[in-house]
Amino acid sequence: MNTKHIGKVVFLDRDGVINRDSPEYIKNWSEFHFLPGSLEALGILKRHGYTVVVITNQSIIGRKMVEPHVLEETHRNMRRAVAESGGEIHHIFFCPHTPDGRCQCRKPKPGLLFQARDALGIDLAACAMIGDSAKDVLAARNAGCGQAVLVSTGNGKTALEDLREKGVSPDYVAYDLLDAVHWLVTTDCQPSGGPHA
Which residues are part of the catalytic machinery?
Answer: 13, 15
Peptide bond into 195 cis (omega under 30): no
β-pairing, 172-174 with 91-95? Answer: unpaired
For the chain, the helix, strand and coil percentages under 3-state DSSP, each to the nearest 5: 40, 15, 45
Exposure on the CB side of residue 58, measured as CA atoms within 13 A: 25
Whether 33 contacts 151, CB under 8 Å? no
What's the order of all strands across the beta sheet hosting 128-131?
A: 91-95, 50-57, 8-12, 128-131, 147-151, 172-174
Taken in order 52, 53, 58, 61, is the CA torsion positive or negative? positive
